[in-house]
Amino acid sequence: MSQMNLPDAVEYALSLLGKDGGVVVGGNSASNNLRWANSALTTNGDAVDQTLAISAFVKLAGGVGTGMASGQVRNKNDVENLVAASKSAATSAGPAVDAMELVAGPLHDDFSDKPAELSVADITHVSNGLGEVLRQRSQEFFGFAEQSRDTTYVGTSAGTRMRYVENTSRFELCAKSLDRTRSAWSGQGGTSLRNVSVQVHSDEVLAKLEHQKNIINVEPGRHRVTLSPSAAADLMIYFLWSAAAREAAEGRNAFANPKGGTRIGEKLSDRRISLATDPSLAGMETFDHVVNLGSSALSSAFDTGMEIPRIQVITDGTLTALGSSRHAAKSAKLPFTPLTDNIEFKDQDGHGSLSELASRMNDGLLITCLWYIREVDPQNLLLTGLTRDGVYVVRDGQIAGAANNFRFNESPIEMLSRVTDAGDAFACLPREWADWFSRAKVAPVTITDFNLSSRSDAV
Amino acid sequence: MIQFAIPAPPSELAAVALETAAALGASVAQFRLAAHDSRGVSIRDGEVENIGADTSIAMSVRVVHGGAWGFAATTDLSAIGASDVANRAVSMAKLSTLVAVDEVVLAAEPRHGKQSWTLPIEIDAFSKSDDEVIHFLQEWNSRVAASSIVSHIESNIAMGRDRTFYADLIGNEITQQRDRISAALTAIHVSDSGFEDMRTCAPPAGRGWEYLTGTGWDWNSEIDQIPEYLAEKVKSPSVTPGAMDLVIDPTNLWLTIHESIGHATELDRALGYEANYAGTSFATIDKLGVFKYGSPIMNVTGDRIADHGLSTVGFDDEGVSAQRWDLIKDGILVGYQTDRSIASKIDMDRSNGCAFADSALHSPIQRMPNVSLQPGTDSTTTADLIADVQSGIYIVGDKSWSIDMQRFNFQFTGQRFHEIKNGKIVGQLKDVAYQSKTPDFWGAMRRIGGAQTYLLGGALNCGKGQPGQVAPVSHGCPSALFTGINVLNTRDESGA
């Protein structure tokens, strides 16, 4: 091996940072993937990436400056170069606005352990299952499977030594009719591809394709819809990313109160809806202490090592918190609310599966996926995007057929006031944001007057 | 001389990897070593928020074995690492052959041998010290901060450099380097009636530091005008929705080209290879040579050779030399973007050189070249186009964008919406979005500006593929006039 042992690299970098200190993060990421299209495997990959990233703190007249440097480290000289670059940048930067004392975070016993290795067993499990599915010739299959294992070493000059191992899996299966006029999708996030049954996903997409044989033309407009957990997750993840206390307190995001302060305390829904991030969320466990190298509206390098509790952003329909760094929280006169890398969205009065919820809707549209979601207006968090791979027409509680696709224009804040029913929260794969955010436990919801702005002829 | 600063020369690592792959029975083996340098500074309300630099370097081997692709990558840049990564690539190919393989056939490409190519720049941005970069950006901030309309300012400068080494079994050894730079400043106004912002419209460019000092963009003029533009926007009326004529500036139109032409003319999408993720395309191969994409004044090229283009290279990531070709001629679809394996799917003699991977950790896939709308042959100016509109909007700068998975239905906003009445600009409007369907929109292009209105826009963050990859890409275009385009009021859309 030509690479330096990461725990040693972290310790050496910290020793070079000296008494001014800083944060050092070593990352080892191993991943395997398979991709298929037109019912045949196409590309694949087996990659191992290892980097060291440093946020140096330098005491200056008037405060503490921070600067970052990152790259691969093969030897001590590489570490020395990164430390020198980060300290130089910190000196040039001037005093950081968000400077706070680092806390002494946890000391993990396994800090010096080697990075967790990734076996091919997970990806092989999927390839074994794909063979039979791809041989079916009455439709075409497309999809992607990925298994990754990330080992993260975190050291700070305040004594924090943390080691995290995160397993992340992702499986997607799309089926299209041979004439490509019908298209259905199923996805599953999680920690291991070995939990994926390719056959179950195949059965699901084939059943959806059957529903699409009856095409029902539906005009754009405001419709009653039921959003699948995946579709609801994509909207609520954007809600979460935008829910920054700093910008709200400054009057410059959709969570600002025009009369001053933030909208915390405002009733967003009459239903007992909740939105939370929780490092202990069962099956979706993730970082339980802050790990950060830079500064942003939601986090700060100076917070590294701080404990991340469960944060209730919405409680019983009321906005109860906005994400913040310690500095942002202090400036906004709010509690420190660090968010972590998962989402739980549920309705205390919700119950049943997606299909049960759609049936209770009686008449409306069942939307399975959203796509190409972008912010249109930050003042009200208006988002646009498309429905994709299945909009089903529900009549008298039954799926009567499939509609065309639509462009939507909706705000995930404002739409909460129009939620009329919900199901149980399920683990799901957010179709749009899964590259960045795949740990989601989200309830399907029924919403009235959902703005389907125009028709999309895409399939 | 392009340097990689690693213990073993790339050619030695390549030799180990390629020999290993060949010995294991690979019929094709491609070695890539890529180093990516990036550096950036962001300033928020006059204080440095983030400053940092990154250099990532990795190597990879891609093989064809048993008719299947196999790809593996590592950051372990040793001879052992090179041998190991070749072994793993062959193993991945074998895994695919056990299931169902999309047999790989590569369109022919001449051997180019040893080559070196560097994107020309005038001033190395990486030679600038942190202090110089910060002070430069601070000066922009201070000019805008002097305005009472400005409540907050966000600004940044980012620079990137790719150094790549490619080698294969037929004897190619290609070393390349290209630079890019971008900067932006956003001014924000906050009041008890809400907030508005205004951002610079300068695109990222394949240039060095000279770009920030006036070569290719008039930064001083634009930054000085930001408070004025913002003040006008704050007091502007909300648009009345409906069909109207639009004069679209290149600072906005580049993104519409990117989404509705650039991605739509990717042959891998048209054939279904992106169907699960980025999507497919309405521009299917049965339409090649016959489909009316837009009005007869519409001529669009793909290229990897444009001066300062973000997709400009000497050779692509599978050894194909850079080219320029037609995608749309006189409004008719006449071409696609391809890599070697995708080109062979429709029996093209040669790939037009669009293989790209954003790092050595990812397998090359077909990615977008510079895709550009050609200007008119006369000297029509943007003012001429505006003078031709009785009632409409002149749209400048990009902001929000979204398009469906077959590249039909799109919606865009912008930075500034100048209302046109009787051929003259009378003020700004706000809450504007335009929404259309690709063939309808381009079919409604009635006039285009001449070469003097042409600008190379672009983005650094074009996403595609699974695992996801990002690519920088440029799009040149003139100003253009479109008639009868559906304009929405975004406040109405929100139901507010």
Among the partner residues B88, B193, B400, nearest to A384 by beta-carbon distance: B400
Among the partner residues A142, A173, A453, nearest to B493 by beta-carbon distance: A453
CB-CB contact of A226 with A350 (8 Å): no
Distance from CA of A212 to the nearest CA of B (A): 18
Beta partners for B160?
B38, B180
Share of chain B above pLDDT 70, in %: 100
Q: Which residue of B has its CA nearest to A132?
A: B99
Among the partner residues B51, B72, B91, nearest to A47 by beta-carbon distance: B72
Among the partner residues A40, A260, A386, nearest to B102 by beta-carbon distance: A40
CB-CB contact of A340 with A286 (8 Å): yes
Backbone φ and ψ for B299, nearest 5 degrees, come out as: -130, 120
Our CA angle for A37, A38, A40, nearest 5°, is: 70
Sites in chain A below the pLDDT cut of 70 = 1
Q: What is the pLDDT of residue B7?
A: 86
CB-CB contact of B250 with B478 (8 Å): yes
Binning pLDDT at 50, 70 and 90, where does residue B437 land?
A: very high
Report DSSP state, residue B258: I
Backbone φ and ψ for A107, nearest 5 degrees, come out as: -115, 100
Structure tokens at B122: 């005038």
Backbone φ and ψ for A146, nearest 5 degrees, come out as: -145, 135
Contact call for A70 and B54, based on CB within 8 A: yes
Averaged confidence pLDDT in chain B: 97
CA atoms within 13 A on the CB side of B353: 21
Query: Chain-centre distance of CA B425, in angstroms?
Result: 31
CA A392/CA A215 separation, integer angstroms? 9
For residue A114, the tally of other CB atoms under 10 A from its CB is 11
Q: What is the pLDDT of residue B495?
A: 85
Binning pLDDT at 50, 70 and 90, where does residue B1 land?
A: confident
* 3-state class (DSSP) for residue B169: coil
CA B379/CA B477 separation, integer angstroms? 14
Helices and strands (H and E) in chain B: how many: 10, 22
CA A392/CA A228 separation, integer angstroms? 11
Amino acid occupying residue A17: L
Among the partner residues A40, A97, A455, nearest to B101 by beta-carbon distance: A40
CA A286/CA A164 separation, integer angstroms? 8
Q: What is the pLDDT of residue A137?
A: 86
Report DSSP state, residue A323: B
Burial of A291 (0-12, 13-18, 19+ CB in 10 A): buried
Largest CA distance in chain A: 72
Contact list in B for residue A409 (CB cut-off 8 A) is 411, 488, 490, 493-494
Structure tokens at A399: 């799926």
CA B284/CA A445 separation, integer angstroms? 36
Across the range B4-13, mean pLDDT stands at 92
Distance from CA of B77 to the nearest CA of A (A): 6
Of the candidates A451, A437, A440, which has an alpha carbon nearest to the alpha carbon of residue A281? A440
Residue B141 has pLDDT above 80, yes or no: yes
CA B274/CA B368 separation, integer angstroms? 13
Report DSSP state, residue A220: S
Q: What is the pLDDT of residue A271?
A: 98
Q: What is the pLDDT of residue B471?
A: 98
Task: Quote ipTM for the complex.
Answer: 0.96
End-to-end CA distance of chain A: 48
B231 touches chain A (CB under 8 A): no
Of the candidates B260, B282, B265, which has an alpha carbon nearest to the alpha carbon of residue B368? B265
Residue B346 has pLDDT above 60, yes or no: yes
Candidates B36, B39, B44, B92: best to mutate against A (most CBs of A within 10 A) is B92
Residue B281 has pLDDT above 60, yes or no: yes
Contact call for A97 and B49, based on CB within 8 A: yes
Report DSSP state, residue B215: S
Residue B91 has pLDDT above 80, yes or no: yes
Contacts of B268 (CB under 8 A, 6+ apart): B274, B338, B339, B342, B365, B366
Q: How many residues does the structure list for chain A?
A: 459
Among the partner residues A86, A144, A252, nearest to B466 by beta-carbon distance: A144
Across the range B435-440, mean pLDDT stands at 98
Q: What is the pLDDT of residue A145?
A: 98
For residue B118, the tally of other CB atoms under 10 A from its CB is 14
Residue found by looking up tokens 């063939």 in the block? B439
Residue B382 has pLDDT above 60, yes or no: yes
pLDDT in tens, B459-484: 999 999 999 999 999 999 999 999 99
Query: Chain-centre distance of CA B326, in angstroms?
Result: 18
pTM of this prediction? Answer: 0.97
Beta pairing, strands B47-65 & A63-71? parallel
* 3-state class (DSSP) for residue B318: coil
Residue found by looking up tokens 């956003």 in the block? B186
Q: What is the pLDDT of residue B102?
A: 86
* 3-state class (DSSP) for residue A202: helix
Contact call for B406 and A295, based on CB within 8 A: no
Structure tokens at A30: 């191993």
Residue B143 has pLDDT above 70, yes or no: yes
Structure tokens at A63: 């405060």
CA atoms within 13 A on the CB side of A369: 27
CA A124/CA A238 separation, integer angstroms? 34
CA B180/CA B461 separation, integer angstroms? 13
The CA distances from residue B20 to B11, B23, B81, B194, in Å, are: 14, 5, 11, 63
- Strands of the sheet with B300-303, listed across from one edge: B332-333, B324-329, B300-303, B370-373
Amino acid occupying residue A116: A
Of the candidates A238, A237, A230, A239, which has an alpha carbon nearest to the alpha carbon of residue A390? A230
Candidates B33, B44, B50, B260: best to mutate against A (most CBs of A within 10 A) is B50
Q: What is the pLDDT of residue A1?
A: 47
Q: What is the pLDDT of residue B161?
A: 98
Contact list in B for residue A221 (CB cut-off 8 A) is none
CB-CB contact of A413 with A396 (8 Å): no
Contact list in A for residue B48 (CB cut-off 8 A) is 65, 92-94, 96
CB-CB contact of B476 with B205 (8 Å): no
Query: Chain-centre distance of CA B460, in angstroms?
Result: 5
Of the candidates A172, A170, A185, which has an alpha carbon nearest to the alpha carbon of residue A139? A185
Structure tokens at A36: 């298929």
Contact call for B272 and A38, based on CB within 8 A: yes
CB-CB contact of B226 with B142 (8 Å): no
Contact call for A456 and B190, based on CB within 8 A: no
